[in-house]
């Protein structure tokens, strides 16, 4: 068994395409299949090596490893379509020689006029076969006019194309419903996707094409091309579409749509792989957070949902938070340091064991790694300017009692040996306040926020000197 993932290097790796890459990888791991990476870069204007490099980096970050590809090599390459044009030309000449394709001299303006006419009549445009049976004289006249021909595939009349899709079940197409003879080579000589993907899948011995449902309309054209060339047809599995929460096509207006942005935001690859694997599929037990090995064991193409899956950004953040909390503390510290450095903290100036304790504590509040810049600063900065909610809290009369008492205690009665265990209780005794009226102002005073880890765990890590400095800063700010 051989599967493939074939991205176009025209931008960042879209999360929908990442889901296809992950699904192919899971199936490859389950079956022992060879995983082929093919770069479909025939769009010369939009394709770039920078985009290809970015896509490969994102795939590696997700944990996907391919057996054959542009960087891994293999016996059935080249693995970039731009390096295979001579191969495609040979097959084009074969189709032309056998009368299964022909040169089309219709101008873009003529074709557009046909489309407008079809639209005005409320029918789909079907190419009428204008150039199917041109004489040699007609061809020469067109060439004398400077017309550069495309190559069209001659769609046979009355042919039925049936596939037994591993996800969709049996799907049947009629040749008269695919839009007439279609272009396989543009007038500039570059071949069309539907054409060359058929050739590549055959020559690379792909046995199972696992891809998005949006490619289903391409399938009858690819099957007809394979039949015309006498090539074997792969098996197909078309994955249901991934939609936004409003059930519209997933786009930037819904949220992050590229793997690169998920990486930058601070998602863990194992969380993203877990979530993408579960789109349109459920485990035997109903569990949603499961290790990759268990996903491989349980998943079956035939059990994937046929209806569209909705991308739940909230659930993904929740899942990622669970992975952050269960990961190795040292690893999470390493991953959080760049975010803290970008926020202006010199993390090398803090003892590593202490920094690891801080991040281990605050990761309980983090859904993405970048959240560390919200919850770690109270431990790293000397003083904390209260945020809006904390500022409002500290202006209340009861809070002012707490500010005065905390500053008094930290200026003399308490010291480094006993402050962390006694501070809150002594403030409670001195002010008579308790519950939220006690804990919220104390948190606001010491951390500048009303959110964060448990105070009894946070205070020892903040330390006596910072607590004292903050009490003095807050007293000066609110009491004068």
- What value, to the nearest 5°, has the Cα angle with vertex 453 and ends 451 and 455? 95
Distances (CA, A) of 12 to 7, 244, 312, 318, 474: 10, 19, 21, 24, 46
Q: Cite the DSSP H helix spans in 164-312.
A: 193-203, 219-229, 259-265, 269-278, 292-298
How far is Cα 14 from Cα 258, in angstroms, rounded to an integer?
4
Tokens of 142: 């067109």
Contact 474, 445 (CB under 8 A): yes
Q: Dig out the tokens for 135 from the structure.
A: 């004489």
Supply the angle between the helices 455-462 and 419-431 in degrees, to the nearest 10: 120
Report which of 250, 336, 326 is spatially closest to residue 289, judged by C-alpha positions.
326
E strands, 22-85, are: 34-37
Question: Catalytic site residue 465?
Answer: no
Burial of 399 (0-12, 13-18, 19+ CB in 10 A): buried
The catalytic position among 30, 205, 249, 252 is: 252
Distance in Å from the first CA to the final CA of the chain: 76
CA distances from 462 to 361, 374, 378, 381, 469 (A): 12, 15, 7, 9, 11
Contact between 447 and 373 (Cβ < 8 Å):
no
Gap between the Cα atoms of 72 and 265, Å rounded: 29
How many residues make up the chain in this entry? 480
Beta strands of 117-248 (E only): which ranges?
150-153, 160-165, 169-174, 182-185, 208-212, 235-239, 242-243
Radius of gyration (C-alpha) of the chain in whole angstroms: 31
The answer to whether the CB of 281 falls within 8 A of the CB of 299 is: yes
Q: Are 234 and 207 in contact (CB under 8 A)?
A: yes
Q: Could you give the 3-state DSSP secondary structure of residue 40?
A: coil
Strand partners, 69: 73
Catalytic residue numbers read 252
């Amino acid at each position: 068994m051989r599967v493939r993932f074939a991205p176009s290097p025209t931008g960042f790796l879209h999360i929908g395409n990442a889901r296809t890459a992950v699904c192919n990888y899971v199936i490859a791991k389950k079956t022992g299949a060879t995983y082929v990476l093919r770069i479909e870069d025939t769009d010369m204007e939009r394709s770039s090596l920078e985009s290809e490099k970015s896509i490969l980096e994102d795939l590696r970050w997700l944990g996907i490893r391919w057996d054959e590809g542009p960087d891994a090599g293999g016996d059935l390459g080249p693995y970039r379509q731009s390096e295979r044009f001579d191969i495609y030309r040979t097959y084009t000449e074969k189709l032309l020689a056998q009368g299964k394709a022909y040169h089309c001299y219709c101008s873009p303006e003529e074709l557009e006029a046909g489309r407008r006419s079809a639209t005005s009549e409320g029918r789909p445009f079907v190419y009428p076969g204008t150039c199917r049976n041109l004489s040699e004289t007609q061809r020469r006249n067109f060439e004398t006019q400077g017309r550069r021909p495309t190559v069209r595939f001659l769609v046979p009349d009355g042919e039925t194309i049936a596939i037994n899709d591993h996800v969709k079940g049996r799907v049947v197409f009629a040749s008269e419903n695919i839009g007439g003879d279609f272009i396989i080579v543009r007038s500039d000589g570059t071949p069309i996707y539907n054409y060359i993907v058929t050739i590549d899948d055959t020559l690379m011995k792909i046995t199972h094409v696992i891809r998005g449902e949006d490619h289903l309309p391409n399938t009858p054209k690819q099957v007809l091309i394979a039949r015309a060339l006498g090539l074997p047809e792969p098996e197909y599995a078309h994955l249901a579409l991934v939609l936004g929460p409003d059930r519209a096509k997933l786009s930037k207006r819904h949220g992050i749509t590229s793997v690169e942005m998920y990486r930058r935001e601070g998602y863990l690859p194992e969380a993203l792989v877990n979530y993408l694997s579960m789109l349109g599929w459920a485990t035997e037990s109903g569990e949603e957070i499961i290790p990759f090995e268990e996903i491989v064991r349980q998943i079956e193409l035939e059990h994937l949902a046929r209806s569209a899956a909705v991308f739940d950004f909230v659930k993904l953040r929740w899942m990622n938070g669970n992975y952050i909390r269960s990961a190795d503390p040292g690893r999470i510290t390493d991953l959080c340091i760049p975010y803290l450095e970008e926020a202006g903290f010199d993390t090398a100036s803090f003892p590593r064991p202490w920094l690891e304790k801080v991040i281990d504590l605050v990761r309980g509040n983090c859904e993405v790694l970048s959240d560390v810049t919200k919850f770690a600063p109270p431990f790293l900065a000397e003083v904390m300017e209260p945020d809006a909610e904390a500022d409002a809290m500290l202006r209340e009369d009861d809070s002012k009692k707490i500010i005065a008492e905390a500053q008094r205690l930290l200026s003399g009665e308490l010291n480094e040996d006993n402050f962390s265990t006694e501070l809150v209780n002594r403030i409670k005794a001195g002010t008579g306040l308790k519950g939220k009226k006690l804990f919220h102002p104390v948190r606001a005073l010491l951390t500048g926020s009303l959110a964060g880890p448990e105070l009894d765990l946070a205070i020892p890590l903040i330390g006596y000197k910072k607590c004292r400095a903050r009490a003095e800063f807050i007293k000066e700010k609110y009491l004068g």
